[in-house]
């Protein structure tokens, strides 16, 4: 089966530098297996299949479009802070 893989936001690209590629896969391939084949992990990129958020175990079908989005990271450093306001 053939699946189209798209990288978005310019932060992630295929090894050849392109944003979109078509890859040939055996039937029953999962999102996780596609990420492995591309040499990335689900900790680095989030996947959507045909515009819908997808988990690693999502089974792909011929003609699917897998969009890879850089994972959002960050947040407060140094632990949570509590602020008390009296009125």
Domains of the chain: 2-70 (3.10.20.30)
Torsion of CA 11, 12, 18, 24, to 10 degrees: -160
Residue 12 near residue 42 (C-beta atoms within 8 A) = no
Residue 75 has pLDDT above 80, yes or no: no
Average pLDDT over residues 59-81: 78
Position 82 confidence tier, pLDDT thresholds 50, 70, 90: very low
User: Which distant-in-sequence residues (6+ apart) come within 8 Å of 67 by Cβ?
Assistant: 5, 6, 7, 8, 47, 48, 49, 51
Task: Give per-residue pLDDT as tens, 16-31.
Answer: 666 888 999 999 999 9
């Amino acid at each position: 089966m053939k699946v189209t893989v798209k990288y978005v936001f310019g932060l992630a690209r295929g090894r050849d530098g392109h944003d979109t590629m078509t890859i040939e896969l055996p039937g029953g391939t999962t999102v996780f297996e596609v990420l492995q084949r591309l040499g990335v992990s689900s900790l680095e990129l989030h996947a959507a299949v045909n515009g819908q958020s997808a988990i690693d175990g999502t089974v792909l079908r011929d003609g699917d479009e897998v969009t890879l989005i850089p994972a959002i990271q960050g947040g407060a450093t140094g632990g949570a802070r509590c602020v008390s306001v009296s009125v």
